[in-house]
Chain A
Amino acid sequence: MSQTWVTPGGVHPPENKHQSLTQSIGVLPLPEKLVVPLNQHIGAPAIPCVEVGQKVLKGEVIAKAAGTVSIPMHAPSSGVVSAIEHRPIAHASGMLAPCIEITTDGEDRWIAHEGVDDYEHLAPRKLLEIIANAGISGMGGAGFPSAVKLNPGRQRPILTLIVNATECEPYITADDSAIRERAAEIVEGIKILSAILDHPDNIFIGIEDNKPEAIEALAPHVEGTGISVVSFPTKYPSGGEKQLIYILTGKEIPSGKLPADLGMVCINIGTTYAIKRAVVNGEPLISRVTTVTGDAVGVQRNYETLIGTPVSHLLAHSAFDEKACSRVIMGGPMMGFTLPSADVPIVKTTNCILAPSYAEIPDDEPAQPCIRCGMCAEACPVSLLPQQLFWYSQAQDHERLEAHNLFDCIECGACSYVCPSNIPLVQYYRASKSEIRKARAEKVKSDHARERFEFHKLRMEQAEREKEEKRTARREAALQASAAPSNPSSSVPSSSAADIIAAAQARAAAKQATPEQQQAQLERTIAAAEQRLIVAEQKLAEAIEKGSANQSVLSAAVENTRQKLEQAKAKLAELTA
């Protein structure tokens, strides 16, 4: 037995694990409808690749991974895709999220699948690909895509592999029962992980000493494999990643760092089973072990549950007494959250459905003022100062919250568990965390907006400057153009309009090259003038007859036309002479 270390703080809530361990892992009848949410993990939601009405087989891909930090989704059973729409999901907000609904056909027919036997000889990259394609994300809590976690890069070699079988939350026995019944497969899964991580020096299975049967079940399988099963005293929350690493290695993961930075990887034991099934059996992650427990259900046990099974289906087959139930909780009593309705589906991270009676978990007592007793600080497993954080949360003093390392809080709930004033401390921390995150996002956005505004201003100024430049250029060009004719080429300044007309006439005359053309032109002019003269004279005669006022104007026009006619005739005579 290797040495273990003791984490600070922690609490010892009643374990309540024996109730659900009286029977082996059961299998539920196939639900009529399965609802698979597209975002069951940390990262981008999967993208549906099926259409409504399409027939799917068990294990068929129904949604593809969107990028690296994402996982695909598979049909948990055979049937027809009956809807792709927003549905209520297991989230504390009670909001809707995109889901794929499959109406099962009862046949439960598998798609053709095949595993690999000699994973030892497969390249780690190939194994990671299998794990990624099987849609495996961490099944302990957060749901981080496993293939990403197992691939920390060459600059961070993994020397220690830690398998988390702690299951420190009260009531939950999903991992415990899985180890009891599937120890061989779990150990095989760990061997696959060891192959992927290039055989780390140390492989630990961390398990609390309240699971002697599980420890016993693992013992024969780990013999001679180099895997050591390390048990340690039961205390909540020993199952937190950073807590477990400290318990097993005595090393603290610095704030803001990952275990991989210290050459460690921590994987939930349920995930190792899923990895074994994916690699050796070729089965994607479409079901998991879920504990159904609490005094409001008649049958408390573990079920191998298909992902997408409605919680109500699970409860209906467990002799659920709705009237006796104070609330339905997904997860454990410490970190779980109350479900907005029992119609939400089981997802890849759902390890427990807890339906307690009013006696087990009564309604929240109203919070009393903080009396500064300091019990929360004693209970905190991360050695924070919960009461200070509480005051700063109330004041929304983000700067001080960050200075007091709010973001190292693992939201385990130990502080609110011990609080004699029943203050929902964790809710304050969660709210403050998201407020700080929001403020950070807004800061990024406003910086971006400032950049764009400044660029916009610059652009406008530049456009204005260019316009101004063009305007001045045009003005200068106009000035030069008006100055040009006065240059030496013509000595006489063409100031008067008459001169300009004369010059134009001269140019026109010059253009007419031959005398024949000029003659023809003049003849046309004479003919036109004669015509005009006749018309003008007629008009004048009419005007005189009627005694109109514009006689003088008309007579002047007649005179004018006659003069022009004579001029043209004279010119013609000149030309023909």
Chain B
Amino acid sequence: MIELIAQNPILAALIALVGLAIIFGALLGFAAEKFKVEGNPIVEQIDELLPQTQCGQCGFPGCRPYAESIANGDAINKCPPGGQATINAIASLLDVPAPELDEEHGQESPVRTVAYIREDECIGCTKCIQACPVDAILGAAKLMHTVIADECTGCDLCVEPCPVDCIDMLPVAETLTDWSWSIPKKPGQLIATDTRGELSHAHTQGGGA
């Protein structure tokens, strides 16, 4: 037998290759079982990118179900709270072209809003508490309710069930701590003879240089 193999190099090579294939195949098979990834990682990654407002504007009950649906091939432009930034991020994750936001599901709001209950008018019906997906509304039956502003995601799911319309979505005011410089106009867009007003406005912001 050994002699036969020694005599036929082709046979020797064949046996060596098949042997290697079997060894590595077994190794891979073992690794696939041993280091099996639980769940669907792509869903996790998409869910990470979604804004977690749980508003349901995409037509799914929460961000995770929408993430699952995207993983199964749904359109990625159904999330108005996330806006174009989220669409771009998901597009680059999935390596697909980034479409515009689907207006059918709502419009992107430029400022973040939080719910505010006009407490004098609240009748304590608890309907908004039941509607809140993140338990950000505090109150009890027949007692006044209030929104914990820090926990509110601005999904506005509580507005519609309120029987006395005492919930407003108020924009979050900018404070000194979260104020930021704005990105300047693209260079080359202005020439010296262009609006002088714009220039003098610009340098109240651009102390730097």
Chain A residues packing against B (C-beta within 8 Å) = 39, 91-95, 97, 327, 329, 331, 334-338, 340, 363-370, 393-394, 396, 411, 413, 416-417, 419, 421-428, 430-432, 434-435, 438, 441-442, 446-450, 452-453, 455-457, 459
* In contact, A428 and B184 (Cβ under 8 angstroms): yes
A425 CB contacts on chain B under 8 angstroms? 208-209
A366–B52 alpha-carbon span in the complex (Å): 41
Chain B residues packing against A (C-beta within 8 Å) = 47, 50-54, 62-64, 132-136, 151, 153, 174-176, 178-188, 190-192, 194, 199-200, 202-209
A216–B62 alpha-carbon span in the complex (Å): 71
For residue B57, give the distance in angstroms from its CB to the closest CB of chain A. Answer: 15
Given contacts A91-B176, A366-B191, A430-B180, contact A450 B208 (CB under 8 A): no
* In contact, A367 and B207 (Cβ under 8 angstroms): no
B188 CB contacts on chain A under 8 angstroms? 367-369
A367–B135 alpha-carbon span in the complex (Å): 49
With CB as the reference atom, state the residue of chain B lying closest to A430.
Answer: B181
Given contacts A363-B199, A446-B52, A452-B135, contact A413 B180 (CB under 8 A): no
The total of Cβ contacts below 8 Å across the A-B interface reads 135
B51 CB contacts on chain A under 8 angstroms? 442, 446
With CB as the reference atom, state the residue of chain B lying closest to A336.
Answer: B207
A344–B156 alpha-carbon span in the complex (Å): 40
* In contact, B133 and A453 (Cβ under 8 angstroms): yes
* In contact, A450 and B187 (Cβ under 8 angstroms): no
* In contact, B52 and A453 (Cβ under 8 angstroms): yes
Given contacts A338-B204, A417-B209, A453-B62, contact A424 B184 (CB under 8 A): yes
With CB as the reference atom, state the residue of chain B lying closest to A96.
Answer: B176
A427–B207 alpha-carbon span in the complex (Å): 8
For residue B111, give the distance in angstroms from its CB to the closest CB of chain A. Answer: 13
* In contact, A338 and B190 (Cβ under 8 angstroms): no
For residue B183, give the distance in angstroms from its CB to the closest CB of chain A. Answer: 5
A430 CB contacts on chain B under 8 angstroms? 180-181, 208
Given contacts A450-B52, A452-B134, contact A337 B207 (CB under 8 A): yes
With CB as the reference atom, state the residue of chain A lying closest to B194.
Answer: A366
A426–B181 alpha-carbon span in the complex (Å): 10
A422 CB contacts on chain B under 8 angstroms? 209
* In contact, A413 and B208 (Cβ under 8 angstroms): yes
A423–B185 alpha-carbon span in the complex (Å): 10
A422–B54 alpha-carbon span in the complex (Å): 45
B186 CB contacts on chain A under 8 angstroms? 394
Residue among B184, B186, B208 facing the most chain A CB atoms (10 A cut-off): B208
For residue B199, give the distance in angstroms from its CB to the closest CB of chain A. Answer: 6
Given contacts A93-B179, A430-B180, A452-B135, contact A366 B207 (CB under 8 A): no
For residue B41, give the distance in angstroms from its CB to the closest CB of chain A. Answer: 16
Among B62, B133, B191, B203, the residue within 8 A (CB) of A327 is B203
Among B132, B176, B187, the residue within 8 A (CB) of A367 is B187
A364–B204 alpha-carbon span in the complex (Å): 10
* In contact, A338 and B183 (Cβ under 8 angstroms): no
A91–B206 alpha-carbon span in the complex (Å): 12
For residue B159, give the distance in angstroms from its CB to the closest CB of chain A. Answer: 18
A417 CB contacts on chain B under 8 angstroms? 209
